[in-house]
Amino acid sequence: MERLKGIGVSSGIAIGPALVAIQRTQVIRFPIAPDRVARELSALDRARARSRDQLVQIRERIAQLKGSDLAALFDAQLMMLDDPMLVGRAASVVCEERVNAEWAVQRALDEIAAIFNDVRDPYLHERKGDLHDVAGRLRMNLRDEKGGARDLLQDLDTPCVLIADELTPSVVAQLDWTRIRGFATDAGSRTYHTAILARSLGVPAAVGLHDVSLRIPPGASVIVDGDSGEVIIEPSPADWQEADARARIMKQQVAVPHAADGPVRSLDGVPVVLQANIERSEDVAAAIAAGAEGIGLYRSEFMLVGGPPDMAAEEEQYHVYRQLVERMAPRPVTIRTFDIDERQLARPLVDAALDARWFPEHDRTQRSGHAGLRGIRFGLAQPEILKTQVRALLRAAAHGSLRIMFPFVSSVHEVRTARVLVEEARAELRTRGIEAPAVPIGIMIEVPSAAFTAPLLAREVDFFTIGTNDLIQYTLAVDRMDERVSDRYQPLHPAVLRLLRAVRRGARRRGIPVSLCGEMASDPLFLRLLLGCGLTDFSMTPGALPMARRVVQETSIAEMVHVAAHVFTLGTVEEIDQYLRRAFDHPAEILK
Ligand code: PEP
Ligand code: MG
């Protein structure tokens, strides 16, 4: 028995045998039934054939564009594809170990890579990149084929717990969570999209466990506690019993309906708006059940993950947005334009814009959150993609209350350019005889430069939404995905609080509404402080709404204003944290 401690990010207990996804590749090892071996082998053959066709096409294209010397680079990859050490070895692994082909390709790759590592020849060293590229392509083609990993999951007769080094949001969005009871990962933090998605799916999850994926052998019994962040490997019978009993109690609690009707007021009568953050249109029901007064953040980029290949087309998007606003009506819906970067999974988009073949698969599935060409920057660099989305949004706005929000804004110039694109999109619709309604245009304040220039930005837009998940990481220079610095990710840092106050003041001076949609609001301690800072409009994961409702109803905002004023005189996170806890536990003492 071994206990590991991570960060609990999605409440609940998951118990079962471990399904282990190996390092950095998102390859999952599935044991397969004997009658499935032949199917896996033919899938491998077809993947090789498709990979070959793709490589030949790429070589021809490069030969046309840049000449045959450069095109010859792909001859090496074609040779690797035919080398028995790769596909041949993978086929043997499928037969000998009775495992899925994707895992077998990875095993063969690891074995060859180990040989390359020992070779000093620099030319051969460079070929290692080609080898990874070829293996990545093979795996991608295996995965794309119907009957890939998702199909194998249907064959699992025992539900399991997924253990991985890192799970990208796209993988989480695609897995069948009726078969997988929960997950634990080496990497991660509370605000990474994987954690956010787990909460919205109601899947128990613990992250930031450093090396859990290496410590747990496939098939070992595990318990993942999504509240304490603890993972128990090969638990004792007593641990089993306790976890099982707790899991039952939690299920009963979840089944209790939430008393969540109408707008909420603080103890001293101030109206507070509570809306939901969602990633999938199916989550509308959960948002309404939890009492959401609207959708404060729809992360539209999730729609592209695992969706049909033409999901980036205007018509498909229009139907999704229209359905969303109609189902929420008369409540408002704020839709954020795609917050992706060019390397992310959004295959339909990337294919359309950049030609996905130039991005090896592992690059496209990498974690997000980088300060590169993402959010509005990506939209402005690919105006046709942004305009397609805006046209779909403007059309959908005719069917309900819709607001458009741009992510990752860092300057007034970006906002002006984006607004010009909105007008162009509107004009394009007009030429098609469609007169779109006026739609509020807002921005996310999640980059320090935007927070510092809030009074200037407030002149350009109709509303602000503060994204503390990113704002904290960029203000404190702490990667929200890197578990080694997760203790430095401090929502109560004086710099963060000052920025929040500056944004609220900037918005108030111009009379535009400001809400906050970061995960910070779903913590009762932080929420009270935010109320004291003058923020009264929040959006959060639906699961946190009942808690937020209760906190608001029990909080006197006038008292919190005093508490917040004192907080702004304190110098460290520890002092602020201790003071807030005392203020909430013994208000009479603090407020006399
Ligand atoms: C944020 O940054 O706070 C936010 C809500 O956006 P995301 O978590 O999707 O980056
Ligand atoms: Mg963000």
Tens-digit pLDDT profile for residues 355-400: 332 233 333 333 345 788 889 999 999 899 999 999 999 999 999 9
Backbone angles phi, psi at 275, to 5 degrees: -120, 175
User: Of all protein residues, whose CA lies closest to atom 1 belonging to ligand 1?
Assistant: 467
pLDDT of amino acid 350: 38
Cβ–ligand 1 distance for 468 under 6 Å, the answer yes
| Residue 354 predicted with pLDDT over 50 | no
Residue 21: band (very low, low, confident or very high) from pLDDT cuts 50, 70, 90 = low
Cβ–ligand 1 distance for 517 under 6 Å, the answer yes
Render pLDDT for 81-126 as a digit per residue (tens, 0 to 9). Answer: 988 889 999 999 999 988 889 889 988 998 888 877 777 666 666 6
Ligand 1 atom nearest to 468, measured from its CA: 3
CB 133 within 8 A of CB 77: yes
170/168 Cα distance (integer angstroms): 5
532/518 Cα distance (integer angstroms): 17
Which segment of 292-301, 352-361, 429-438, 582-591 scores lowest on mean pLDDT? 352-361
372/305 Cα distance (integer angstroms): 20
Catalytic residue among 160, 193, 493, 533: 193
CB 468 within 8 A of CB 296: no
Ligand 1 atom nearest to 191, measured from its CA: 8
What's the gap in Å between 549 CA and the centre of ligand 2?
Answer: 24
Ligand 1 atom nearest to 277, measured from its CA: 5
Integer angstrom CA distances of residue 463 from 334, 354, 387, 442, 508? 10, 32, 20, 5, 10
Nearest ligand atom owner, CA of 277: 1
Q: Enter the DSSP assignment of 430.
A: H
Is 533 a catalytic site residue?
no
Specify the 3-state DSSP secondary structure of 3: strand
Specify the 3-state DSSP secondary structure of 435: coil
482/492 Cα distance (integer angstroms): 19
Q: Which of 475, 495, 537 is nearest to 512 (CA)?
A: 537
292/285 Cα distance (integer angstroms): 10
Q: Enter the DSSP assignment of 294.
A: S
What's the gap in Å between 191 CA and the centre of ligand 1?
Answer: 8
Is 399 a catalytic site residue?
no
Backbone angles phi, psi at 535, to 5 degrees: -90, 130
| Residue 4 predicted with pLDDT over 70 | yes
Helix 557-567 × helix 524-532 angle, to 10°: 90
In sequence order, the 6+-apart residues with CB closer than 8 A to the CB of 347 are: 304, 309, 356, 364
Q: Which of 404, 422, 394, 408 is nearest to 336 (CA)?
A: 404
Query: What are 383's two structure tokens?
Result: 């105006």
Q: Which of 128, 143, 140 is nearest to 361 (CA)?
A: 140
CB 101 within 8 A of CB 26: no
Render pLDDT for 546-585 as a digit per residue (tens, 0 to 9). Answer: 999 999 999 999 999 999 999 999 999 999 999 999 998 8
CA 246 to chain centroid: 28
